[in-house]
Amino acid sequence: MVKWDHKRMRVITSNLPQKILDEIEKFMEWGITPSRSEYIRRALYTQIKIDHEFIKDTDKVIEGGYDNKIEYLDLKKFVRVPGIDHPFKIIRRLD
């Protein structure tokens, strides 16, 4: 369920595995995070920043102006793009 609040979006989470909830409880006991919702909010924000940086790097590689970042990417697959004579590489993040 998503609620809109001006330009912010409130995310209501459910069905987190008990193991994850137990880990968050440990972090709360140790004083790392004040609450479950704050921990989830920080984790979501951090993941969005990581994905955004990856997309920016991917765009630069596709445009051909960012060749020194190739070591971070897996360039094994190709795809044909309509209107372009040479194949484009499908790029994905290495885990």
The reported pLDDT for the residue numbered 87 is: 52
Percent of the residues in the chain that have a pLDDT greater than 70, as a whole number: 44
**pLDDT for res 72:** 47
pLDDT for 47 equals 83
Band of pLDDT at residue 49, cut at 50, 70 and 90: confident
Q: Which residues contact 88 (CB under 8 A, 6 or more apart)?
A: 62, 78, 79, 80, 81
Rounded to two decimals, what is the model's pTM?
A: 0.46
Q: Where are the domains of the chain?
A: 2-93
pLDDT of residue 57: 66
Least confident window among 7-11, 39-43, 59-63, 68-72: 68-72
| Alpha carbon distance 34, 5 (integer Å) | 23
